[in-house]
Amino acid sequence: MTQLAETGFDALRAILEGLALRPGEEGYDEARRLWNAEHDRRPAVIVRPRSAADVQAAVRYAVAEGLEIAVRGGAHSMAGLSSVDDGLMIDLSLLNQVSVDPEARRARAAGGALLGDLDAATQEYGLAVPAGIVSHTGVGGLVLGGGMGLLTRLHGLSIDNLESVQIVTADGSLRRAAADENTDLFWAVRGGGGNFGVVTEFEFRLHPAGPMVNYGIAFWGAEQGVELFRAAREVIPALPREVNVVIAGLNAPPAPFVPEEHHFKVGYALIAVGFGSPEQHAEAMRQLRGTLPPPLFEFTTPMPYVAVQQSIDEPNAWGMCRYEKGAYLETLTDEAIDVITEQFPQKTSPLSVTMFYHLDHGYLETADDATAFSGQRTERYAVFMIATTPVREALEAERTWVRTFWDALQPHTINIGSYVNGMTEPDEARIRASYGDKYDRLREIKRKYDPDNVFHRNQNIRP
């Protein structure tokens, strides 16, 4: 839409507690900026709500004016779906409050809160909710797709710890969805992404965690990859559930604990975070080293949980160009390991990574059909192949690396679908494959709450 109805916009601006911005106005360029610098979009209107009523007004205005809607939480959408050209962006960043009831072990996070906001508020009481591992990620985008991180082995996905949401649906209504109200909608938002409305508040169950945890990283060169993966597949599933291990293909960082001769070396790290005793964590690290040759470097230390949650913020900083694909592996077969260790070192950017999350214990304790999550509740590895470059011109080579890697791994994956939060190119076939038998149920709920597909800038389920 190139020309706005002035009276409609003026009326919208007049009723908002928050802000309504147009191109050229102060704050517009900062509000439209996205984490993935590949995407540079210019909405016709940006609404920055300060209340759920503001979100309702923005949705009603956009529908009345025929404006395409994008919802920006942490702006971390890899595909740039947090913004839109010539439409209306709802920027939730002013709705970032988090409140905690430590006695009930409940937290309420507004729709624009970041993971860092949630961690800071809950850790004041030694509590936490399973969530991601980059603190400037938005709670909303992460949670609506599922939400996995360092506490998943203990307590499941973020959605497994969700008590209720407040959500503005396509007709502008504010609804509560929970186990006792709008139960179909509550099922759908737990894994169905942003298809069903704009969540203005999440209510979570909390668990004791921290404030100090045990952190360890051990790193081997790329030439030792086959040995490392074969050892890891035996050890990681047998570790106590209090110890979560992420396998990461990366370039060694220029950190103080890394010998200078290994700075930026390509290889594989085992990152172990323990929520039990230091002795349990030390034993886990010993088992991870096992019969492998000594790592090129190793570092273990007690660390505040919030610091662990921020430990990879810098390599995931704003301003980079990015691309991602993901998959599920039932196990690390010899054939899959051969593909991984052949394909991973072919990346050209030192910032590009591959990560493997082993999903078991807490992940398995929620029934598969209890939520809309796009992954069956069987033991598996979630694989993320992430290209990152500081300049746009270098992205195409890294994109090709990710696609080639992903294609080569497909014969060894569980199916052609993947975790929807790891989809940069959310085409309908992959979305259907990811949700499987849940897709038709999601489509019926979409028809009920959003029959005109007002909310389609997401991993879209067409009504």
DSSP strand pairing (297-304 vs 212-221):
antiparallel
Q: pLDDT by residue (tens digit) across 358-387?
A: 999 999 999 999 999 998 999 999 999 999
Which residue ranges make up each domain of the chain?
Answer: 6-92, 98-209, 212-422
Q: pLDDT by residue (tens digit) across 163-206?
A: 999 999 999 999 999 999 999 999 999 999 999 999 999 999 99
Pick the CATH number of 212-422 from 3.40.462.20, 3.50.30.10, 3.20.20.370, 3.40.190.10: 3.40.462.20
Residue 3 scores a pLDDT above 50: no
How far is 54 from 44, CA to CA, in rounded Å? 17
* Six-digit token string for 305: 């949980």
Pick the CATH number of 98-209 from 3.30.465.10, 3.90.10.10, 2.60.40.420, 3.40.190.10: 3.30.465.10
What's the mean pLDDT in 347-359? 97
Q: Considering the domain 6-92 in this protein, what is its CATH number?
A: 3.30.43.10
pTM of the full structure: 0.95
Q: pLDDT by residue (tens digit) across 71-103?
A: 999 999 999 999 999 999 999 999 999 999 999
